[in-house]
A = this chain, B = another copy of it.
Amino acid sequence: MKWYKIDDVAKITGLTKRTLRYYEEIGLIKPPERSNGKFRLYTDEDIEQIRKLILAREVLGFSLQELQEFLSLKEKVERHSEEYNRLSPYELQEIDQNLKQQIRMIETKMERMRKFIEELEDLRQKIQSHQNLTEKEDV
């Protein structure tokens, strides 16, 4: 088993050490092992979990608390496939609605981004045309 110290994890994930400790403090990531109760020691699995967390955070733009709820929901579903803790049809229904809403939200954001990119491209066009008046070569 390979162990990573906090600075390694910071470099790998791009989070700061402070952020890693903070996320642990508020229960967003599980407390890793410790060396003699002192230094934090992370495993590859820990790092993978953190990676997923980062992706969700970036995409969803939730508060960390909402993010927490969302992740626990996801885990619930994934664990549901295994023998135990089956969910009721009603719960499944609800979760499905929730997921659909998330998807719609993200699609809305993407639509806004597309429009924004168009605007930026328009701006670039304007600039290009003005450059052609003063220069002869494009780069």
Contacts and interface: CB of A to CB of B under 8 A. Distances in A.
Interface of A: 55-56, 58-61, 74, 77-78, 80-81, 89, 92-93, 95-96, 99-100, 102-103, 106-107, 109-110, 112-117, 120-121, 123-124, 126-128, 130-131, 134-135, 139
10 tightest A-B contacts by CB? Answer: A59-B116, A106-B113, A96-B127, A99-B124, A89-B134, A92-B127, A99-B120, A59-B113, A103-B120, A110-B113
A124 B100 contact: yes
B56 A116 contact: yes
Secondary structure of the A contact surface, majority rule = helix
Q: Quickly give the copy total for this chain.
A: 2
A127 B95 contact: yes
A58 B71 CA distance: 23
A110 B110 contact: yes
A112 B81 contact: no
Contacts of A107: 117
Given A80-B130, A92-B130, A107-B117, 14 more contacts: A55-B112, A55-B116, A58-B112, A59-B116, A61-B61, A77-B127, A80-B126, A89-B131, A96-B124, A99-B120, A103-B117, A106-B116, A106-B120, A109-B113
